[in-house]
Every structure is written in structure tokens, then in C-alpha cells.
Amino acid sequence: MKTLIIFSLVFRFIFIPFIQREVDAWVYQRNWTKRRSDRKKVLPNGIPMIILQKPHKWKAADYKVYYPYIILHHLTYVTRLLFPQKLLMRSRKSMLLQMTLFLT
């Protein structure tokens, strides 16, 4: 039993920091290097972190869809009225399927 605890502690103090350093290095390399160009992609080709920090230099378009917050509340309310908890299946996928079948 004591050997298992010792092995667990050795793993925690040696290998977890090592793995964390490796993952941090991979994330840094992934976010700070330029991607291969793709003619079919609409997004700008460049270093992702610089594009995120200074989008105006890259003429990046904002593709977000904005909606009033009240719409989300209204949809939640209508969904709860139309589909009581007893009728809803447990998975989110089935709920979305029920919603699309109801709306079509």
C-alpha cells in the first residue's frame, strides 16, 4: 500500500509538471506560428494571437450573430411550455430534434 502511495506521489511531482510544460510549449507554438495558407478559407492567414490582439490590422470581419437577450428568455419559456420535463428525453440532441420537428 505504501509503495502505491509513493508511486502516486512521484507521478504527481515529476511527470505531471513535465506533461504540463510540454502542453504549454505546444499551445505556445500553436498560437504563435503562422498557419499554412488556404485559398478556400475566408479567415485571415496569420499568427492567431496577433490577429486576436490586433484584428483591425488584418481587416478581420466579425461574423458574430447578435440577438437581443430577451429572445433567449422567450425561447426558453416557450420550450418549457411546449415540452414539459416529462415529455423531454434526456439527451440534448433529442430535444433539438423535437424542436426542429415542431418548428417545421
Helix or strand holding residue 43 (H, E): none
CA distances from 103 to 36, 72, 77, 80 (A): 41, 16, 15, 15
Res 27 pLDDT > 80: yes
Give pLDDT, residue 7: 84
CA distances from 37 to 16, 31, 78 (A): 35, 15, 45
CA distances from 66 to 43, 63, 71, 99 (A): 19, 9, 11, 21
Q: Where are the domains of the chain?
A: 2-58, 69-103
pLDDT band at 18 (very low <50, low <70, confident <90, very high): very high
Return the C-alpha cell found at 89: 428525453
pLDDT single digits (tens) 41-87: 766 677 888 887 887 787 777 677 787 888 878 888 888 787 766 55
Which residue is listed with cell 490586433?
A: 54
Give pLDDT, residue 35: 76
Is the pTM for the entire model greater than 0.75?
A: no
Give pLDDT, residue 102: 57
